[in-house]
Amino acid sequence: MTYQDKYIGKKIEEYEIREFIGKGGMGAVYKGFDTTLNRPVAIKILLESSLDNPDMVRRFEREAKVIAEINHPNIAQIYKIGKIDNVPYYVMEFIRGKSLADILQEKGRISGSKCIDYIIQTAKGLRAAANHNIIHRDIKPANIMITEDGTVKIVDFGIAKVFRDNTFKTTTGTIMGTPRYMSPEQGKGGNVDLRSDIYSLGATFYHIIAGISPFDSDNPVTLLMKHFSEPVKSIKQFNAEVPDKLCNVIYCMMEKSPSERYQDYTQLIITLENLYAKREEITSYIPVIEQEEETSLKQIKKRKLLLIGLAAIVLIFIISLFLSPKKPEQKTTPQGRTIYDDGSMSQTFNELQKFQKQVDKNDE
């Protein structure tokens, strides 16, 4: 019996292990079933080959705790952490869907507003992680899952950097991550912050939109050097239909110097939502133009009501002039003019004020 088959059919408390899904750098992933809540789950079990490596064991257990700390719809959720036959495992949300790497392999590239929506969702998930002082450090198409309903789920926090956690520290000068999408500062083994993930997110979506990664080489060192010094090629060279504004957003995300990129995720998200809010697939933003149009319609309606009300009040005033038995009172204005007022003008003005207030109240 192979390692990947030895757990199939076993039960961990309320979880049944039913099917082998795949293997990653640290663990084997199985499809399981929660018999209590009657739902599918994913169960990740540490690889047997890693059991004798204390550092790998710590990393595996730490990954589960890191993900469990972040409660966000764009990050795969952790349900349970434990051990089976003294081997660490954790149970997580089962994602029905495909990774962006799978979609790229099938379609070659992804374009249109759907792609913009994926960028925004991924940025929101990474912002939630950054708010917990967690940097992913391995953002790439394979680690961004898309569910059947189009929801982004970020996975694999195995090499994440947690600023307050000293249980797993990367030695300065050690390079961890995927060179094809790695920021220049991460490729140099230096200190990284959220702007490094922003770079990797930009490189990932460059690949998704253009159909080709921003830099390529069979040699990892050469590939890293390109991130350090080689300018990013125009996206339009590979996909002429991509709007200039979107290209500029990606280029800004991939600036060589962290200080020249977007400085936080909110800045990036607002930029994307403002630029592409009118695309119907993106529902998280209400376009300003719609608000303006709605305000204009209210103003037109309000003016019509005022005109109708004013006309009615003037008509009543004219009729009252002919029917009123009251003798007009002679008055002198501050300018020395003589006027005759039987009280109708003051009454008319008061009526108009009341009507204006009622219109304003109804409009609110």
Identical fold between 11-93 and 97-284: no
Taking the C-alpha atoms of residue 55 and residue 174, their distance in angstroms, rounded to an integer, is 15
Taking the C-alpha atoms of residue 137 and residue 120, their distance in angstroms, rounded to an integer, is 18
Question: Contact at 8 Å (CB) between 127 and 72?
Answer: no
Query: Could you give the 3-state DSSP secondary structure of residue 81?
Result: strand
Counting beta carbons within 10 angstroms of the beta carbon of residue 191, is it exposed (0 to 12), middle (13 to 18) or buried (19 or more)?
exposed
Q: Which residue has the tokens 């929801």?
A: 151
Helix axis angle, 194-210 relative to 113-131, nearest 10°? 160
Backbone Cα Rg of the chain = 32
For domain 97-284, the CATH class is mainly alpha
Q: Is the dihedral of CA 199, 204, 206, 209 positive or negative?
A: negative
Q: Which CATH superfamily is domain 11-93 in?
A: Phosphorylase Kinase; domain 1 (3.30.200.20)
Q: Which of 61, 69, 148, 281 is catalytic?
A: 148
Polymer length of the chain: 364
**Where do the structural domains in the chain lie, given as residue ranges?**
11-93, 97-284, 290-363
* Known catalytic residue at 148: yes
Taking the C-alpha atoms of residue 155 and residue 24, their distance in angstroms, rounded to an integer, is 12
Please state, in angstroms and as integers, the Cα–Cα distance from residue 175 to each residue in 178, 200, 361, following that order: 9, 15, 64
> What string of pLDDT tens digits covers the 364 residues of the chain?
566 778 899 999 999 999 999 887 788 999 999 999 999 999 999 998 888 898 889 888 888 888 888 999 999 999 999 998 889 999 999 999 999 999 999 999 987 788 899 999 999 999 999 999 999 999 999 999 999 999 999 998 888 888 655 544 444 445 567 899 999 999 998 889 999 999 999 999 999 999 999 999 999 999 999 999 999 999 999 999 999 999 999 999 999 999 999 999 999 999 999 877 644 343 333 333 333 334 444 555 555 565 666 566 656 655 655 555 555 455 454 445 444 444 444 554 455 555 555 555 555 5
Question: Contact at 8 Å (CB) between 82 and 98?
Answer: no
Taking the C-alpha atoms of residue 106 and residue 100, their distance in angstroms, rounded to an integer, is 10
Backbone dihedral region of 112: left (phi > 0), alpha (psi from -120 to 50 degrees) or beta?
left
- Please, what's the b/e burial string for 80-117 (b: 16 or more CB within 10 A of its CB; e: otherwise)? bbeebeebbbbbbbbbeeebbbebbeeeebbbeeebbb
Q: Which pLDDT score, from 0 to 100, does residue 110 have?
A: 87
Could you give the count of Cα atoms lying within 13 Å of 203 in the half-sphere of its Cβ?
31
* 13, 19, 21, 26: CA torsion to nearest 10: 40
Q: DSSP assignment, residue 345? A: H
Q: Which pLDDT score, from 0 to 100, does residue 10 have?
A: 92
